[in-house]
Chains A and B, each alone.
Chain A
Amino acid sequence: MNGVHDMGGMDGFGTVEPETHEPVFHAPWEGRVMAMTRAVGRLREWNIDIGRYWIELLPPAVYLDSSYYERWLTRLENLLRARDLVSKAELAAGHAAGPGPPVKGRVLAPADVDGGLTSAPFDRPAPAPARFKIGDRVRARNIHPRTHTRLPRYVRGHVGVVERMHGCHVFPDAVVASGAEDPQWLYTVTFEGGALWGPDAEPGLRISVDAFEPYLEAA
């Protein structure tokens, strides 16, 4: 979706302000939100792509006016309610009204945390040969899906070169649209700065995105 989350190339957000000696969390609630989001992820009621999409679904004004972990909190509340795992009344009351429905995954235990928090790999066996190879000129297609996509607007319609291949990965667009993994070849495609930004490009600049094969056409 052409949402406000797709920020590459936008102006007006001001300067980048690094914070010296930044804490991991700026308040304890941020850590709880991060931890709850990860723990609930193990219930397997949605995956990372659906999680990202539900951040994108926040109204633009809410997205822009919320802090990072406020967006995570709202996303988690919204998804839990949408999947009928918790109710609005329960969140308002601050207590469960009864047991929740069964879930696909399992409840994360402390010992699981020590076993590693990294998610399962996203690569999959190739269902078909790759259409492109390293060195090929490709155009990012001029597509504007109304649901989730990982092709940023700033490269659409522009020509780049395949620099790396990463095998076949779970296709986020399909996961969100239909629930299917629909694995697709994944390429790093590199664009000259001038191809994306014209005469306003900084000198000596190249930019890449990691693009799934359906995002690309031969150029």
Chain B
Amino acid sequence: MPEDGHDQDRDDHGHHGSELSDVELRVRALETVLTEKGYVDPAALDRIVETFETRVGPHIGAAAVARAWVDSAFRAALLADASKAIADAGIAAHPGDHLIAVENTPFLHNIVVCTLCSCYPWAVLGLPPVWYKSFAYRSRTVKEPRRVLAEFGVRLPETTEVRVWDSTAETRYLVLPMRPANTEGWDAERLATLVTRDSMVGAGLPMQPAALS
């Protein structure tokens, strides 16, 4: 589908030869014009791309979640002010302002969406995946989150309330999932390997220890 963000058939056919697709030609033209006018520095563009491909990603959020699982003072600080807690702990220098952590319990499952665009806590999770930006996720999550979760393979007990956070302002939400069972004695670094990106959006659950082996 075109809306899924990677319509290779239409955009990338040019990679098979030297011919560029229409969209690639537009992007190249725009970058050249902006560079010639002195509005962008291509080296800065390289650096931004590199930042999101290698430095800013879900490992930041995973470190915060794992720390909260082993450190109750950090957990309290995270739930009180996630931006401050993550910066103070040195997990990320720039976790973004107005970051709010919401905690799952056996009776409450949080899930985050942006129905109006694609708001996402990218400073701690990286850029959003295509599914988060998809029309299906944006339209359905506020109305039928259990069906959406089922498409991620998550089936919650009927006794678990589903709590949907629609990110309609500059507040950003990070789900603090429940610590998996059978992880007694694990340190934060090892626990972080269980924390998936989707579990911090609320569209998934952390991995079980058995899944690592």
List A residues at the B interface (Cβ < 8 Å): 5-19, 22, 24-27, 29-36, 38-40, 43, 48, 52, 55, 64-70, 73, 76-77, 80, 85-86, 90-96, 99-100, 103, 107-110, 112-114, 116-118, 121-123, 150-152, 154, 164, 166, 169-170, 172, 186, 188, 196-197, 200-212
- Rounded to whole angstroms, the CA-CA distance of A70 and B7 in the bound complex is 10
A-B contacts at CB below 8 angstroms, number: 292
- Rounded to whole angstroms, the CA-CA distance of A17 and B123 in the bound complex is 24
- Rounded to whole angstroms, the CA-CA distance of A5 and B194 in the bound complex is 34
- Rounded to whole angstroms, the CA-CA distance of A154 and B156 in the bound complex is 25
Q: How far is the CB of A208 from chain B (nearest CB, A)?
A: 6
Residue of A with least CB distance to B56: A117
The answer, among B15, B23, B25, B164, for a CB contact under 8 Å with A208, is B164
- B171 located at the interface, meaning its Cβ lies under 8 Å from any Cβ of chain A in the complex: yes
The answer, among A12, A16, A29, A151, for a CB contact under 8 Å with B27, is A29
Contact A17 B24 (CB under 8 A): no
Contact A166 B168 (CB under 8 A): no
Contact A114 B115 (CB under 8 A): no
- B211 located at the interface, meaning its Cβ lies under 8 Å from any Cβ of chain A in the complex: no
CB contacts (< 8 Å) of B46 on chain A: these are: 35, 110
- B67 located at the interface, meaning its Cβ lies under 8 Å from any Cβ of chain A in the complex: no
Contact A204 B142 (CB under 8 A): no
CB contacts (< 8 Å) of A93 on chain B: these are: 29
CB contacts (< 8 Å) of B34 on chain A: these are: 36, 40, 80, 86
Contact B5 A67 (CB under 8 A): yes
CB contacts (< 8 Å) of B147 on chain A: these are: 202
Contact B146 A202 (CB under 8 A): yes
Q: Given A34-B48, A39-B48, is A210 in contact with B168 using a C-beta cutoff of 8 Å?
A: yes
Contact A100 B38 (CB under 8 A): yes
Contact A114 B39 (CB under 8 A): no
Most-contacted residue by chain B among A40, A55, A108, A122 (CB, 10 A): A108
- B6 located at the interface, meaning its Cβ lies under 8 Å from any Cβ of chain A in the complex: yes
The answer, among B27, B151, B158, for a CB contact under 8 Å with A33, is B27
Contact A100 B37 (CB under 8 A): yes
Contact B115 A6 (CB under 8 A): yes
Contact A73 B127 (CB under 8 A): no
